Chain A
Amino acid sequence: MLDSKIPEGPLENKWSNYKGHVKLVNPANKRKLEIIVVGTGLAGASAAASLGELGYRVKAFCFQDSPRRAHSIAAQGGINAAKNYQNDGDSVFRLFYDTIKGGDYRSRESNTHRLAEVSVNIIDQCVAQGVPFAREYSGLLNNRSFGGVQVKRTFYAAGQTGQQLLIGAYQALERQVALGNVTMYTRHEMLDVVIIDGKARGIICRNLVTGELERHFGHSVLLCTGGYGNVFYLSTNAMGCNVTAAWKAHKKGAFFANPCFTQIHPTCIPVTGDHQSKLTLMSESLRNDGRIWVPKKQNDTRKANDIPEEERDYYLERRYPAYGNLVPRDVASRAAKERCDAGYGVGTTKQAVYLDFRYNLINKYGRAEASKHGIENPDMETLVRLGKEVVKEEYGNLFDMYEKITGENPYEVPMRIYPAVHYTMGGLWVDYELMTSVKGLYALGECNFSDHGANRLGASALMQGLADGYFVIPYTIGNYLADEISVKPIPTTHEAFEAAENAVRERISSLMNIKGNQSVESFHKRLGKIMWNKCGMSRNAKNLNEAIQEIRSLKKEFWNEVRIPGDINEMNPELDKASRVADFIELGELICIDALERAESCGGHFREESQTEEGEALRHDDQFLHVAAWEYNGEHNWKLNKEELEFELAKPTQRNYK
């Protein structure tokens, strides 16, 4: 059933064996083959550019006005690679192991190992393209440490790593556009896949400027359409991030894997009110120097700086003395929620904790600078002044962003932070070649499920997107297309295109004809509330069952009550949004079903019924050492397929951070 096509041989030789034996397409035949790439973030832009360079005829699509604006642009912290430039003992094996362990042993070893292998090529490629990574005075590349691992392997460009990587990939893509190898369609949204004789052969999309539907043929179709975190309404994702492309593929036969594996990031700027449209991340790197605390007294209304040291509860340092403030994301998030739920939260909404830089500003940086400057017995004022300078250099842009949003100066008062939805490990099921369960349909980047298990480590999503696009798909797609060279382009008048376009047209007109009384936004907010309250940081069977019922009735209400202004044949952002929210509602149901089925805690998925005496996540490897790949069988009806996970090198153990 589920054939993951893992190559033979020992783990560390699989990828080179595969590459040595894979079928090839000769250059003349590549010219005859057309590939559709949906999405041009890091995964899609790198894939489209590389495939264009190889000589394939590529058509690429995105919904923004330019590929340079994909959500990847917002990534802050950095990208991992096993370069071992620091001579601190890093290796492909270590990066592989950290990633598998960070994912709480719920990812496929062979894919994760390949990711670690190609990570080194990514950095080289990006440097050659002119990505201005941070450098040392020697002129060589600099690294920072990230997310609890014990080596420094994260490459970065200030707090704008995603921006710089995406611009590199975007420029490579635009070069292929100029050379005529790639045709770029911006402000286009894919609304269905076309399948002919069991193989993906094209897409239907809507031109978002004119509202017209278009048909496009391809010998194969790549989805690189990002994550679905916005199913929670509020998240750190960009406003336009959506599940639509993946969901349409799912309904046409692509299995959806581990949808309940969603990542909640502990340090984000908290919600201020009902008007809130999105949440802003404050990079994980801040936890290197920021200490997290709440008052020891419940409902304490004093200002942070008026609360004396002995009345502060540094709860992470208290609960996890070994890792302190640097516990993994899932652990830090749950601990913050626990304190707030118990009545110790701060700020007007009481849904926040403090992230305080003062201690390290004075004691770590202030004192070090004073000693560098030869100042003996420095007074407090001098320490603060000197410390501030260093903190500014390290985190200046984040502090500025915080101040713009909140109006508070984090050099003076602690930041208020709270966990927020950030990333989705789940996604379309893919085999080793990144092919979904539909032949010729591939999924790359955040929209597939493959490499991060139940929890993603910091700085590894950028790595995965670029690995998939630059270094994996150019090889694996040939293995499929080699057998397609005799297939002539299928005219888009084919009945399958006709039928798919008609179905899309009908769905759009039924949406427009509801003419109800409630806005799209109001439904999205309600869905988000259900998801956050009942399928968020901590989950239990009762809540999940309720959520499933609530989402089903929300779906009914949506299809009876939603109001979409404007017309079909024009630019209509409300219609775009309605179509996405309708898909989110269906996905929400599947997420809850998956969360209910997985009656264990692992990584970001915390089931209250499955915890240790100290309240830590408890895995059940005897029952859940598998990928849950859901097959769509009609409304409210899914079949569970399991891909058993086999570990050749890694040894699943219970994580411990005490």
Chain B
Amino acid sequence: MDHYTMNLTLKVWKQKNKSERGHFETYQVTDISSEMSFLEMFDVLNEKLIEENREPIAFDHDCREGICGMCSMYINGRPHGPWHGTTTCQLHMRAFKDGDTVVVEPWRANAFPVIKDLIVDRHAFDRIIQAGGYISVNTGNAVDGNAIPVEKEKADQSFAAAACIGCGACVAACKNSSAMLFVSAKVAHLALLPQGAPEKKSRVLNMVEQMDKEGFGSCTMTEACEAVCPKEISVDYIARLNKEYLSAASLIDK
């Protein structure tokens, strides 16, 4: 692999807090190595800003391994940037070339208010889980693990859905700011397992109701979510959710 260095122009969203209005600010960065990660490029920029006695840019990150779901930058019009199936923290600078201009914004959705600069509030996702994204089993109630066999294919599908990292890129990519991909992944993860079956109906109804309450838009199946999802969660789960929702809704006459 040949390495190179580059100079870039960055246009980054700055916003002091929830209530103040934000704006774009332009920065120049120089001598960026193609071996750096995108967030390391931001580290370099922040170090420079601190040295110049200016405010660094606030952004969310933690694992930097593509698994915690914390990082969340909208890069050149795409959540998590240009690479397919990749989180912001796993994006590397060899995706860019000398002289490029890179525009970086936070997730934009009513249900994800900006807290500062590139950091948004994603509590809505936790509240959707609280509405039913679990199996109601207390510690100590379990039977032997092998007493509940699960068809391998179903277990694998359930795992593929459970791979969702709750980053919210699906919402950020959707013109309606719908959270359907996230919700459907959780519904599928649990409904595909025998352990999750007893609560199948109430789960889907309650989670969808909470999603609506949080102010996420409705799903019009544009599939923009699937295209940007770093864990490649499939929109097939949305179709599954719809089916489950309809059958649950028609059975419950509350």
Q: Which of A18-71 contact B (CB under 8 A)?
A: 46, 49-50, 53, 64-71
Return chain A residues, CB-CB under 8 Å to B131.
178
Q: Which of A174, A276, A406, A566 contacts B130 (CB 8 A)?
A: A174
Q: Which of A50, A277, A566 contacts B39 (CB 8 A)?
A: A277
Return chain B residues, CB-CB under 8 Å to A163.
67, 163, 165
Q: Which of A208-243 contact B (CB under 8 A)?
A: 209, 238-240
Query: Does A401 lie within 8 Å of B56, measured CB to CB?
Result: no
Return chain A residues, CB-CB under 8 Å to B92.
404-405, 407
Return chain A residues, CB-CB under 8 Å to B134.
129-130, 171-172, 174-175
Provide the bound-state CA to CA distance between A471 and B150, in Å: 25
**Contact A66:B125 (CB < 8 A) given known A130-B189, A174-B130, A571-B17:** yes
Return chain A residues, CB-CB under 8 Å to B175.
none
A508 at the interface (CB under 8 A from B): no
A300 at the interface (CB under 8 A from B): no
Stretch in A118-126, A288-296, A320-328, A633-641 with 4+ CB within 8 Å of B: A118-126
Return chain B residues, CB-CB under 8 Å to A401.
65-66, 90
A429 at the interface (CB under 8 A from B): no
Query: Does B35 lie within 8 Å of A272, measured CB to CB?
Result: yes
Of A130, A164, A474, which is in contact with the most chain B CB atoms at under 10 Å from its CB?
Answer: A130
Stretch in B40-48, B74-82, B97-105 with 4+ CB within 8 Å of A: B40-48
Provide the bound-state CA to CA distance between A501 and B134, in Å: 37
Return chain B residues, CB-CB under 8 Å to A470.
139
Q: Which of A67, A474, A566 contacts B139 (CB 8 A)?
A: A474
Provide the bound-state CA to CA distance between A377 and B217, in Å: 60
Query: Does A177 lie within 8 Å of B130, measured CB to CB?
Result: yes
Chain B's closest residue to A572 (CB) is B58
Stretch in A138-146, A308-316, A418-426 with 4+ CB within 8 Å of B: A138-146
A521 at the interface (CB under 8 A from B): yes
Query: Does A565 lie within 8 Å of B151, measured CB to CB?
Result: no
Query: Does B119 lie within 8 Å of A64, measured CB to CB?
Result: no
A408 at the interface (CB under 8 A from B): yes
Interface string of B120-146 (1 = CB under 8 A from A): 011101100111011111111111111
- Chain A nearest CB, measured from B227 CB (Å): 18
Return chain A residues, CB-CB under 8 Å to B63.
69, 71, 73-74, 238-239
Q: Which of B38-88 contact A (CB under 8 A)?
A: 39-40, 43-44, 47, 49-51, 53-56, 58, 60-70, 83, 86
Interface string of B6-34 (1 = CB under 8 A from A): 00000000001100000000000000010
A519 at the interface (CB under 8 A from B): yes
Provide the bound-state CA to CA distance between A46 and B140, in Å: 12
Interface pairs (9), CB distance under 8 Å: A46-B139, A50-B138, A74-B65, A128-B141, A128-B142, A129-B135, A130-B190, A138-B149, A275-B43
Which residues of B are interface residues toward A (Cβ below 8 A)?
Answer: 1, 16-17, 33, 35-37, 39-40, 43-44, 47, 49-51, 53-56, 58, 60-70, 83, 86, 90, 92, 94, 115-116, 119, 121-123, 125-126, 129-131, 133-146, 148-152, 155-156, 158-159, 162-163, 165-166, 189-190, 193, 195-196
Which residues of A are interface residues toward B (Cβ below 8 A)?
Answer: 46, 49-50, 53, 64-71, 73-74, 83, 85, 121, 123-130, 132-141, 157-158, 160, 163-164, 167, 170-172, 174-175, 177-178, 184, 186, 209, 238-240, 272-273, 275-278, 280, 401, 404-408, 470-471, 474, 519, 521-522, 563, 565-566, 570-571, 573-574
